C-alpha cells in the first residue's frame, strides 16, 4: 500500500484541529453530578508543572483515559478531574536556575501542559481544575493543618533531622534514598532543628489493618512496600539496669543505676545476651558512658555522624564500636554484661539500644568476634555452634542454657514464657514496634504552603485564626531565593513580623513551608467540591464520589504519596468529614516508557520527544501505540513499538467508514450473520478486557474486527450489507477509547453527529455470542467410537482431552496403551492403541 497516499486521504493533523473546538463547545466530559446516573470517579495522579508533557505523561494519560472513556460509553456519570501539584522544590530550583520567580515559571508551565493535555484529547473535566499553589487551595491545606494540630497530630519538636546540604532543606526519611537526597542526589547529613511533624505513627496499625480492603485491588507489590515501610515487629521491651560510675548522669549516689530499655523481637534469647549495644549517636550513649571512655566515644561519634543509615545497617562492613566502661544487669539471671556503643544500632529505631545475642544474630556475632566478646548458644538447632562456625543460627530448635526454658522446642512458647516472666517481675513487657516514623513536614524553602502559626514571646506557639487564612506567601519578586539554610521567608522582615493573634503583641510568623506531599494528600477530595469557599470540601459531595473507583499513576508513589493520602483520609474519617477510611478503591500502576532498554535520559541521549512524535504521527497513533504496546503495568521500550504501524491501522479503520454503503439507522438484524457474530463477540470481549485492564488485548480485538470487516466489504457480503455498518460503528465506538480523533472522523463519515465519545456502548445480542458447534469424530484403531459437539475454534489440546475423556472411548481403550493420538481439529481425533 502506498503510505503517502493513505496519509493524504486521512489527515490526522487536520482532524485534530477540526475536532478540538467542537469538543470544547460540546463539553461532553463534565460530570453531571445530578444523580441521574451511577457515578464513577476516575482519578489520575496530578502532574508537577516542571516542564512540558513527556512520554511518561502520555502513557499514563492514554491508559487512564481508556477507563474514563469506557465508563462514559457504559452510561456512567464520570468525574475525571485534572489539576497541578504546583508547589515544590523541582519548580523552585528550576525557577532559580532560570532567574525567574517560581510563580512565573510554575504558571507558565501549567499553561503549556494544559494546552498539551487538551491537544492530547484526554477526557478531563476541566471545570474542576485546581493548582495547589493557589491561595484558594492552600488556604484549606492550612486549615487542615490546624485541625490536625488541634488533634495533637501536628506538632513541633527539636531533633536531629536529615539535611540536604545542596538544597539547604530538611528531608523526610522517605526522601532520603540510599543516603542521598531523592531530588538532587547530594549526600544527606544530620542537623539539630525544630521541625513540624505529623503524627503518622498514631495510625501505624490502622494503615496496616485497612490494607485488607485493598487486597486484590491494589498491586500486591505496592501493598508489600507499604507493609514494609510501616514495618511492624512484634517483640518485647526488656529493662536492664546499667550500673553507672558515680558522678555520671548528675547523680551523687554512691552506686547510681540507670534503667535502659531495649527492644527485641527475640526475648526468648535473653539468656544468650552477652553484651548490650547502645546507638553511638543516641543521647543515652554519652549519658551512661564512663568518664574515662568519654574521649573515645566522642572521637567515634565524629566518624558515625558521617555515615548513612544504609552503611550502618550493612552486614558487610567490619564492625566498629566503643566500650562504654559500664555494665548492664541481665534481668533474668543477674549476669553483668558490658555495654558498648556502636553504629550498627540506630538511634531512632526501637529504643536505640539492644541486647546483643551473638549466637543467634549475625551482626551481634560479627561484633562479638571483632571485639572478643563471649558467644553463648541458647537454641540448639542442630547446626554447628555459632561460636565456632561464625554463622549465627536463627531457626527453631531446643532451648539450652536458658533456665526454665530449657527443653522447650518452639519459639512461640519460649517468647510467651519469657514475656510472662518479665511482666510479672516488672522488667519488661510484650510490645509492638513500627519502623514508620512521624512525617517531618516542614521545609526551609519559599515555594510551598506557609505554616499558619505565629511565635509570640509571651504566648508561645499560636495558631493563625481560621478567618485570617490563607497566610499568603509574600511576593518576594526580585529577592534572591537561593537556598541559604534559613528560608527566604524568615528573611522577609515585613512578612515575618506580625501581631500575635492572642495578645496583640509583636510576634513572628513561622517561616517554614510544608512538604508538597501535604498538598497532594487531599487534592482528590477538593476535586469533589471545586471552588468551595467555606471549607476544603463538602462532605456531601465527597460522599457521592468517593472512594475513587480507580487511581492511576506511577509506582514511584507506591510508598509516600499513597501512605500520606491514606493517613489524611483516616484522620478526616475520625474528624467525621468522610465516611470511608481508604481513599482509592483500585490502584493501577503503569510501567515506564524506556528506549533501547534504558530509562530515557539526557546523558544517554535516548530521550524521545513527545511533541515531535505527535507532530509526525498524530495524537491518536501515539496513544494507540502506548496502549497497544503491552499490559499497562509493563515497561514500554520505544525502540520496539511502531507508531507508523499504529497510524496505518488507524487509516485502515478510517477507510472502512468511507466504504459503508447503507444508511444510518438501518436494521442490522437482516445483515450477514458471520460478520455480526464477530462484531458482537468483539464488543462483548472488549468490555471484559477493559474491566480486567487488558487494554492491549482489547486493541488487538479491534484490529481483528477491522480486518474481518474489510474482508466482508471486499470479498464477502459487500458494502451495502447492514452488518457492515454495524461493524464499522462498533469499531468507531471502541476506538473512541484510544484514538478519539479518528473515531470522531469515522463517526461523522458514518452520518452521525458528534460526539462518538458519548454514543453509548453497542448493545450486545447475547444470541450471537453462542458459538456454532461442529461434530468431531473420534476413531480408535480406525473405527468410529464417538462423536463430540465442539466449538469450531477448539484447540488441538482441548479436543484431544475431550476425546480421551469420552466414556465410550475410555471403554474401548481399557487395558490398552495409547501409542499415538492424531488430532485434526475441529473435526477428527484418531487414537492409535495397539
Ligand atoms: C535480640 C535478638 C536476638 C534480636 C536474636 C534479633 C535476633 P526488626 O525485626 O527489624 O524489628 N534491633 C532493635 N533495635 C535496633 C536498633 N535501634 N538498631 C539496630 N538493630 C536493632 O528487628 C528487631 C531486632 O533488631 C531486635 O531483636 C534487635 O535485635 C535489633 F536472635 O534483639 B534483636
Ligand atoms: Zn502573644
pLDDT digits (tens, 9 = 90+) for 6-43: 445 788 889 999 999 999 999 999 999 999 999 999 99
Query: Is 354's C-beta closer than 6 angstroms to any atom of ligand 1?
Result: yes
Share of the chain above pLDDT 70, in %: 98
Query: What's the predicted TM-score (pTM) here?
Result: 0.88
Nearest ligand to the CA atom of 278: 1
Query: Is 263's C-beta closer than 6 angstroms to any atom of ligand 1?
Result: yes
The answer to whether residues 33 and 77 touch, using CB atoms and an 8 Å cutoff, is yes
Nearest ligand to the CA atom of 359: 1
**Cis before residue 755, ω within 30 degrees of 0?**
yes
C-alpha cell at 226: 507499604
Which is more confident, 764 or 173? 764
Query: Is 349's C-beta closer than 6 angstroms to any atom of ligand 1?
Result: yes
C-alpha cell at 641: 513499538
Gyration radius (Cα) of the chain, Å: 34
Distance 281 CA to ligand 1 centre (A): 17
Give residues with Cβ within 8 angstroms of 459, minimum separation 6: 500, 502, 503, 505, 507
Q: How many CB atoms lie within 10 A of CB 75?
A: 12
Residue to mutate, 266, 282, 362, ligand 1, most ligand atoms under 8 Å from C-beta = 266
348-396: pLDDT as tens digits:
899 999 999 999 999 999 999 999 999 999 999 999 999 999 999 999 9
Distance 504 CA to ligand 2 centre (A): 6
**Conformational region of residue 168, where left means phi above 0, alpha means psi within -120 to 50, and beta covers everything else:** left
Band of residue 163 on the pLDDT scale cut at 50, 70, 90: confident
Strand partners, 276: 339, 355
* Torsion angles phi and psi, residue 787, rounded to 5: -125, 130
Nearest ligand to the CA atom of 346: 1
Confidence at residue 523, expressed as pLDDT on a 0 to 100 scale: 98
The answer to whether residues 337 and 328 touch, using CB atoms and an 8 Å cutoff, is yes
Mean pLDDT, range 148-159, rounded to an integer:
94
Strand partners, 171: 162
Confidence at residue 310, expressed as pLDDT on a 0 to 100 scale: 73
CA–CA distance, 594 with 725 (Å, rounded to integer): 40
Confidence at residue 488, expressed as pLDDT on a 0 to 100 scale: 86
What is the rounded average pLDDT for all residues in the chain? 93
673-695: pLDDT as tens digits:
999 999 999 999 999 999 999 99
CA–CA distance, 341 with 324 (Å, rounded to integer): 7
Nearest ligand to the CA atom of 457: 2
Lowest mean per-residue pLDDT among 82-86, 248-252, 677-681 = 248-252
Query: Is 83's C-beta closer than 6 angstroms to any atom of ligand 1?
Result: no
The answer to whether residues 780 and 810 touch, using CB atoms and an 8 Å cutoff, is no
CA angle 267, 271, 277 (to 5 degrees): 70
Mean pLDDT, range 303-311, rounded to an integer:
79
Closest residue CA from atom 33 of ligand 1: 264
Strand partners, 187: 180
Band of residue 249 on the pLDDT scale cut at 50, 70, 90: low
Distance 759 CA to ligand 2 centre (A): 63
Distance 127 CA to ligand 1 centre (A): 53
Distance 211 CA to ligand 1 centre (A): 26
Give residues with Cβ within 8 angstroms of 654, minimum separation 6: 9, 10, 742, 745, 746, 749
The answer to whether residues 349 and 435 touch, using CB atoms and an 8 Å cutoff, is yes
CA angle 14, 20, 25 (to 5 degrees): 140
pLDDT beyond 80 at 771: no
Query: Is 381's C-beta closer than 6 angstroms to any atom of ligand 1?
Result: no
Mean pLDDT, range 452-472, rounded to an integer:
97
Query: Is 284's C-beta closer than 6 angstroms to any atom of ligand 1?
Result: no
CA–CA distance, 402 with 268 (Å, rounded to integer): 9
* Torsion angles phi and psi, residue 195, rounded to 5: -135, 160
585-638: pLDDT as tens digits:
999 999 999 999 999 987 888 889 999 999 999 999 999 999 999 999 999 999
pLDDT beyond 50 at 2: no
Distance 156 CA to ligand 2 centre (A): 18
Nearest ligand to the CA atom of 460: 2
Share of the chain above pLDDT 90, in %: 82
- Residue 538 burial by Cβ neighbours in a 10 Å radius (0-12, 13-18, 19+): middle
Which residues in 43-69 are b (16+ Cβ under 10 Å) and which e?
bbbbbbbbeebbbbbbbbbbbbbbbbb
CA–CA distance, 579 with 573 (Å, rounded to integer): 6
Give residues with Cβ within 8 angstroms of 21, minimum separation 6: none
Closest residue CA from atom 8 of ligand 1: 233
Closest residue CA from atom 21 of ligand 1: 345
Strand partners, 84: 131
- What is the four-CA torsion angle of 201, 206, 208, 212, rounded to 10 degrees? -170
Atom in ligand 1 nearest the alpha carbon of residue 273: 1
C-alpha cell at 313: 545497617
Closest residue CA from atom 10 of ligand 1: 233
- What is the four-CA torsion angle of 87, 91, 96, 101, rounded to 10 degrees? -50
Closest residue CA from atom 14 of ligand 1: 350
CA–CA distance, 4 with 456 (Å, rounded to integer): 74
The answer to whether residues 736 and 744 touch, using CB atoms and an 8 Å cutoff, is yes
Mean pLDDT, range 299-327, rounded to an integer:
88
List the strands of the sheet with 828-832, edge to edge: 783-790, 774-780, 828-832, 820-824
Distance of CA 423 to the CA centre of its chain: 41
CA–CA distance, 689 with 727 (Å, rounded to integer): 19
Distance 502 CA to ligand 2 centre (A): 5
Closest residue CA from atom 11 of ligand 1: 233
Band of residue 1 on the pLDDT scale cut at 50, 70, 90: very low
Number of H helices, E strands in the chain: 29, 34
Atom in ligand 1 nearest the alpha carbon of residue 349: 17
CA–CA distance, 453 with 227 (Å, rounded to integer): 34
Band of residue 89 on the pLDDT scale cut at 50, 70, 90: confident
Nearest ligand to the CA atom of 508: 2
User: Helix, strand, coil shares of the chain as percentages rounded to 5?
Assistant: 40, 20, 40
CA angle 256, 259, 265 (to 5 degrees): 155
- What 3-state class would DSSP assign to 317? coil
CA–CA distance, 405 with 418 (Å, rounded to integer): 8
Distance 506 CA to ligand 2 centre (A): 7
Amino acid at each position: 500500500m502506498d503510505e503517502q497516499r493513505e496519509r493524504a486521504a486521512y489527515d490526522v493533523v487536520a482532524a485534530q484541529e477540526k475536532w478540538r473546538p467542537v469538543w470544547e463547545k460540546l463539553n461532553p466530559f463534565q460530570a453531571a453530578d445530578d444523580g441521574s446516573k451511577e457515578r464513577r470517579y476516575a482519578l489520575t495522579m496530578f502532574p508537577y508543572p516542571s516542564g512540558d508533557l513527556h512520554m511518561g505523561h502520555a502513557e499514563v494519560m492514554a491508559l487512564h483515559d481508556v477507563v474514563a472513556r469506557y465508563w462514559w460509553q457504559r452510561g456512567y456519570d464520570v468525574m475525571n478531574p485534572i489539576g497541578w501539584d504546583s508547589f515544590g522544590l523541582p519548580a523552585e530550583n528550576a525557577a532559580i536556575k532560570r532567574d525567574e520567580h517560581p510563580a512565573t515559571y510554575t504558571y507558565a508551565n501549567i499553561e503549556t501542559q494544559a494546552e498539551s493535555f487538551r491537544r492530547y484529547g484526554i477526557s478531563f473535566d476541566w471545570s474542576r481544575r485546581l493548582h495547589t499553589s493557589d491561595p484558594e487551595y492552600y488556604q484549606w491545606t492550612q486549615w487542615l493543618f490546624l485541625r490536625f494540630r488541634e488533634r495533637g497530630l501536628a506538632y513541633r519538636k527539636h531533633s536531629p533531622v536529615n539535611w540536604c546540604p545542596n538544597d539547604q532543606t530538611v528531608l523526610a526519611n522517605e526522601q532520603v534514598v540510599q543516603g542521598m537526597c531523592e531530588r538532587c542526589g547530594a549526600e544527606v547529613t544530620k542537623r539539630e532543628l525544630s521541625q513540624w511533624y505529623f503524627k503518622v505513627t498514631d495510625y501505624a496499625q490502622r494503615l496496616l489493618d485497612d490494607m485488607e480492603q485493598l487486597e486484590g485491588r491494589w498491586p500486591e507489590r505496592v501493598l508489600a512496600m507499604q507493609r514494609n515501610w510501616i514495618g511492624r515487629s512484634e517483640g518485647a521491651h526488656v529493662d536492664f539496669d546499667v550500673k553507672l560510675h558515680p558522678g555520671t548522669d548528675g547523680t551523687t549516689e554512691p552506686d547510681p543505676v540507670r534503667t535502659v530499655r531495649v527492644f527485641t523481637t527475640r526475648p526468648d534469647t535473653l539468656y544468650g545476651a552477652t553484651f548490650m549495644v547502645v546507638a553511638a549517636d543516641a543521647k543515652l550513649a554519652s549519658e551512661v558512658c564512663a568518664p574515662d571512655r568519654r574521649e573515645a566515644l566522642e572521637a567515634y561519634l565524629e566518624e558515625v555522624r558521617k555515615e548513612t543509615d544504609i552503611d550502618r545497617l550493612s552486614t558487610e562492613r567490619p564492625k566498629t564500636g566503643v566500650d562504654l566502661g559500664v555494665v548492664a544487669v541481665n534481668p533474668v539471671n543477674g549476669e553483668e554484661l558490658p555495654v558498648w556503643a556502636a553504629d550498627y544500632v540506630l538511634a531512632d529505631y526501637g529504643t536505640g539500644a539492644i541486647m546483643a545475642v551473638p549466637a543467634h544474630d549475625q551482626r551481634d556475632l560479627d561484633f562479638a568476634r571483632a571485639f572478643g566478646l563471649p558467644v553463648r548458644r541458647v537454641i540448639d538447632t542442630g547446626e554447628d555452634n555459632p561460636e565456632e562456625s561464625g554463622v549465627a543460627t536463627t531457626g527453631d530448635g531446643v532451648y539450652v542454657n536458658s533456665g526454665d526454658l530449657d527443653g522447650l522446642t518452639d519459639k512461640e512458647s519460649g517468647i510467651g514464657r519469657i514475656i510472662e516472666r518479665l511482666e510479672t517481675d516488672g522488667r519488661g513487657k510484650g510490645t509492638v514496634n513500627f519502623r514508620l516514623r512521624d512525617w517531618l513536614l516542614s521545609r526551609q524553602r519559599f515555594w510551598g504552603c506557609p505554616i499558619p502559626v505565629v511565635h509570640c514571646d509571651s504566648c508561645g506557639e499560636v495558631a493563625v485564626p481560621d478567618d485570617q487564612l490563607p497566610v499568603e506567601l509574600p511576593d518576594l519578586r526580585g529577592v534572591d531565593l537561593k537556598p541559604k539554610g534559613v528560608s527566604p521567608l524568615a528573611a522577609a522582615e515585613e512578612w515575618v513580623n506580625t501581631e500575635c493573634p492572642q495578645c496583640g503583641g509583636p510576634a513572628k510568623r513561622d517561616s517554614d513551608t510544608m512538604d508538597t506531599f501535604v498538598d497532594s494528600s487531599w487534592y482528590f477530595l477538593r476535586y469533589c467540591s471545586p471552588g468551595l469557599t467555606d471549607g476544603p470540601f463538602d462532605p456531601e459531595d465527597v460522599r457521592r464520589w468517593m472512594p475513587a473507583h480507580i487511581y492511576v499513576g506511577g509506582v514511584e508513589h507506591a510508598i509516600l504519596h499513597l501512605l500520606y493520602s491514606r493517613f489524611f483520609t483516616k484522620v478526616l474519617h475520625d474528624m467525621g468529614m468522610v465516611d470511608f477510611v481508604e481513599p482509592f478503591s483500585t490502584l493501577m500502576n503503569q510501567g515506564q516508557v524506556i528506549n533501547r532498554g534504558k530509562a530515557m535520559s539526557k546523558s544517554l541521549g535516548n530521550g524521545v520527544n513527545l511533541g515531535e512524535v505527535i507532530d509526525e504521527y498524530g495524537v491518536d497513533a501515539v496513544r494507540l501505540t502506548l496502549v497497544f504496546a503491552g499490559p499497562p503495568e509493563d515497561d514500554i521500550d520505544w525502540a520496539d513499538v511502531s507508531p507508523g504501524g499504529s497510524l496505518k491501522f488507524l487509516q485502515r479503520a478510517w477507510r472502512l467508514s468511507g466504504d459503508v454503503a447503507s444508511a444510518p439507522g438501518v436494521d442490522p438484524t437482516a445483515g450477514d450473520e458471520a460478520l455480526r457474530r464477530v462484531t458482537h463477540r468483539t464488543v462483548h470481549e472488549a468490555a471484559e478486557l477493559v474491566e480486567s485492564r487488558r487494554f492491549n488485548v482489547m486493541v488487538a480485538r479491534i484490529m481483528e474486527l477491522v480486518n474481518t470487516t474489510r474482508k466482508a466489504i471486499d470479498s464477502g457480503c459487500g458494502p451495502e450489507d447492514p452488518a457492515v455498518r454495524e461493524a464499522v460503528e462498533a469499531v468507531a465506538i471502541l476506538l473512541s477509547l484510544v484514538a478519539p480523533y479518528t473515531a470522531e472522523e469515522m463517526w461523522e463519515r458514518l452520518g452521525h453527529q458528534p460526539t462518538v465519545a458519548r454514543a453509548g456502548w453497542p448493545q450486545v445480542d447475547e444470541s450471537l455470542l453462542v458459538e456454532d458447534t461442529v461434530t468431531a469424530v473420534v476413531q480408535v484403531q480406525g473405527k468410529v467410537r464417538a462423536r463430540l459437539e465442539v466449538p469450531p475454534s477448539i484447540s488441538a489440546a482441548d479436543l484431544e482431552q475431550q476425546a480421551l475423556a469420552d466414556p465410550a472411548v475410555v471403554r474401548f481403550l481399557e487395558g490398552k496403551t495409547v501409542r499415538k493420538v492424531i488430532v485434526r481439529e475441529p473435526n477428527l481425533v484418531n487414537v492409535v492403541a495397539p
